[in-house]
């Protein structure tokens, strides 16, 4: 069983999912560092976590796209946290990404290049230290490229593959790497969308899945188990059939 004690660093902490994860870990007694490009938005969250759960909670300025300063960001934190959770993500707009190289690049850098870069720094430091847990929130969208969001999906596929390789590399170093794959999640950004109830999780459900994955020493977790057979089927479809689908 992996430890869920110590301090937890949450990257991309302004999202509904990240906030739910912060509450789950704070309730479990962990100190929390909330990191985001707009860290001022997190001040109230940090105060609430400290008051509600009696843990230390602080904020840190972090820009996932500023890869040249990721090492400095970690240095400023002081002691390396026991657990680092990356919840950074940017859906973008598929139609825009199809015609704008800049828009497509932003999606790719936000979901893959930036997260992989910061977690590479974290991994090296945890490996030197000899323990720690890295958790990356990826997506079922990365399992196979779909016409409706293949730019986003490709970036998540890259992140998933990165986490898999990192997990294999660190398998003997007492550093755990966990990949979490939510499907649809009901958040403020998806409000108004007609999402299938059986496939749609709440942020609190994602948070419980993340915490349980670490406590149980899991490697790859689908937030709702129904996604596992669905994605197995999607991966198994022959390309000649898959390319005719419209989803």
Active site positions, annotated: 152
Reduced DSSP (H G I as helix, E B as strand, rest coil) percent helix, strand, coil of the chain, to 5:
50, 15, 30
Cβ contact 136:164 at 8 Å: no
Closest to 214 measured CA to CA, from 119, 131, 121? 131
DSSP H/E element including 76: helix 70-77
CA distance 16 to 33: 16
How many helices (H) and strands (E) in the chain?
A: 10, 9
Q: Is 214 buried (19+), middle (13-18) or exposed (0-12) by CB count in 10 A?
A: buried
- Spatial neighbors of 26 by CB under 8 A, at least 6 apart, are 32, 49, 52, 53, 55, 57
């Amino acid at each position: 069983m992996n430890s869920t004690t110590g301090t937890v660093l949450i990257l991309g902490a302004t999202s509904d999912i990240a906030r739910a994860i912060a509450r789950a870990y704070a309730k479990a007694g962990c100190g929390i560092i909330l990191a985001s490009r707009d860290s001022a938005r997190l001040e109230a969250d940090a105060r609430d976590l400290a008051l509600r759960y009696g843990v230390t909670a602080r904020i840190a300025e972090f820009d996932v796209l500023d890869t040249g300063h990721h090492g400095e960001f970690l240095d400023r934190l002081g002691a390396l946290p026991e657990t680092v959770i990356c919840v950074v993500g940017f859906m973008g707009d598929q139609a825009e990404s199809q015609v704008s190289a800049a828009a497509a690049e932003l999606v790719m850098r936000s979901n893959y290049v930036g997260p992989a870069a910061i977690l590479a720094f974290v991994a090296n430091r945890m490996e030197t230290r000899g323990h720690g847990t890295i958790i990356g929130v990826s997506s079922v969208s990365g399992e196979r490229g779909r016409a409706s969001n293949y730019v986003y999906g490709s970036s998540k596929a890259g992140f998933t593959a990165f986490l898999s390789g990192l997990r294999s590399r660190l398998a003997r170093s007492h550093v755990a790497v966990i990949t979490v794959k939510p499907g649809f999640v009901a958040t403020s950004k998806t409000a108004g969308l007609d999402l299938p109830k059986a496939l749609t999780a709440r942020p609190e459900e994602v948070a419980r899945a993340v915490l349980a994955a670490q406590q149980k020493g899991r490697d790859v977790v689908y937030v709702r188990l129904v996604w596992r057979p669905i994605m197995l089927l999607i991966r198994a479809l022959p390309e000649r059939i898959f390319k005719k689908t419209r989803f």
